[in-house]
Amino acid sequence: MQIEILRLSHRIRRDPRLSTHLALTARAFLASKIYYSGDKDSSLEATINKVTSQFGGNFKIEHIEDPVKLINEKKDEEFLIIHLSVYGLTLNSILKKIKVQKDILVIVGGEKVPPEIFKESDYNVSVTQQPISEVSALAVFLHVILRGEELNAKFSNAKIQIIPSAKGKEFKK
Amino acid sequence: MQIEILRLSHRIRRDPRLSTHLALTARAFLASKIYYSGDKDSSLEATINKVTSQFGGNFKIEHIEDPVKLINEKKDEEFLIIHLSVYGLTLNSILKKIKVQKDILVIVGGEKVPPEIFKESDYNVSVTQQPISEVSALAVFLHVILRGEELNAKFSNAKIQIIPSAKGKEFKK
């Protein structure tokens, strides 16, 4: 299963930290790539690429202009398109439908998500039916899809590796 | 099981959106209260209280001056103290130890977490051993502890209730 993320409508003045947390979450929860629309943000890209270079793996970040065009390209590649929205169907209700598929594009908003995104997605999915955060929605969605596989995943080519510790801060370099 | 959250070192200029996302996540994942240290932020409190008044439940937010004092009070009340840190023990390795306990205080940083927090916590716990986000770490930790109970939880006294929908935006008022 290949997992890619699309973050809609990044705003360079308002969202840099949330988009950073979102991209780091995508990487740690075994997505291979995050696309983002809205403002191109070289500083965001540099932050994420630095983490990947230090902590390993092959996670990519790419700015795109047109989310609907990307969605259509991913449909042609037979990705299942999942849009996380508080208004969507419950996570439990769509789980069986997701398991049969191979690759997934997970879309997260963005302040105002245009109606095309709801329409073009195979499933609009809500994590809890309560206002939460795109960061927590993405994390729990991927945790459930991966059945917790991410909790003990190892990343290739890591220059820094954190060693689980009861009270201290241990890592290998 | 009663779940409370402690958010360390909130900075009013830098963290308002992340702390908002963290508090909303705490509420949706069935915590009863979030304490926060650092800058007192009336706007953060108003945002969270407004969501609770609209979407229901009894979630509380409270500013505190001294995190270590709160931790000691919660220990006296026999709460288990869990500090989420990338450096901690793996989530799977401490799960059995958590299940026997009744109430939990979950602590999340903060840029630089003082050593006392590592020392005073019963368990320092890492969600993935990778740099992620306090928002995603909290969500996945609570999801695992609650065994997904939060996914279909109903909140009492909700003025707005979101109705799961395949393509649209539906809610009851």
**A22, A25, A168 member nearest B118 (Cβ):** A168
Cβ-Cβ contacts under 8 Å, B51 against chain A: 131
If one counts the domains in chain B, the total is 1
Nearby residues of B98 by Cβ (< 8 Å), 6 or more positions away? B80, B82, B104, B123, B145
Q: What is the pLDDT of residues A20-50, one digit of tens each?
A: 999 999 999 999 999 999 999 999 999 999 9
How large is the ipTM?
A: 0.97
Q: Is the pLDDT of residue B97 over 90?
A: no
Q: What is the pLDDT of residues B53-74, one digit of tens each?
A: 999 999 999 999 999 999 999 9
Nearby residues of B46 by Cβ (< 8 Å), 6 or more positions away? none
What pLDDT is recorded for position A156? 97
**A88, A133, A165 member nearest B135 (Cβ):** A133
Whether A136 and B131 lie within 8 Å, measured CB to CB = no
Domain limits for position B24: 3-172
pTM (global) more than 0.95: yes
What pLDDT is recorded for position A158? 97
Q: What is the pLDDT of residues A123-167, one digit of tens each?
A: 999 999 999 999 999 999 999 999 999 999 999 999 999 999 999
Cβ–Cβ contacts within 10 Å for residue B173, how many? 7
Q: What is the pLDDT of residues B129-138, one digit of tens each?
A: 999 999 999 9
Ranges assigned E (strand) in B28-145? 33-38, 60-63, 79-90, 103-108, 123-126
Whether A25 and B136 lie within 8 Å, measured CB to CB = yes
CATH of the domain at A149: 3.40.1280.10
Residue A165 distance to chain B (closest CA, Å): 5
